[in-house]
Amino acid sequence: MDEIHLRLLKAIQVNPQATQRELSEELGVSLGKAHYCLRALVDKGWVKAHNFRANPNKLGYAYLLTPAGIDAKARLTVRFRRHQLNEYDVLRAENEELRRDAGESKPSSRAAPEEYP
């Protein structure tokens, strides 16, 4: 859930006036999941939803990151980046092991095989 929260915080920071539908499309999740995650961020105090009551479109909101939300976004970014680097290290070690098992002494400089139609 941290990854989707991070992506949602980034999307809100870029476009505070985005609708929940727009956020769900950008994140590639259902509208219900976007609403659930957005509600969780509001409940945590990371996002504030501001309703434009004077707007004729009563559903108009702006989502703003709170100072706690900005801090959380930074922490989530660091955590996500560490996770990605750990995954990379694991895959690189597995690749090295497979290469040794295949009898290769060093990485091949061959290009990836072409795809067939």
* CA atoms of 83 and 80, how far apart (whole Å): 5
Q: How many domains does the chain have?
A: 1
Q: What is the pLDDT of residue 117?
A: 47
pLDDT in tens, 61-80: 789 899 999 999 999 999 99
Task: Flag whether the pTM goes above 0.85.
Answer: no
In a domain, 117, yes or no: no
H-helix or E-strand spanning residue 48: strand 47-51
In a domain, 107, yes or no: no
Q: What is the pLDDT of residue 102?
A: 87
Average confidence (pLDDT) over 19-34: 94
Specify the CATH number for the domain of residue 67. Answer: 1.10.10.10
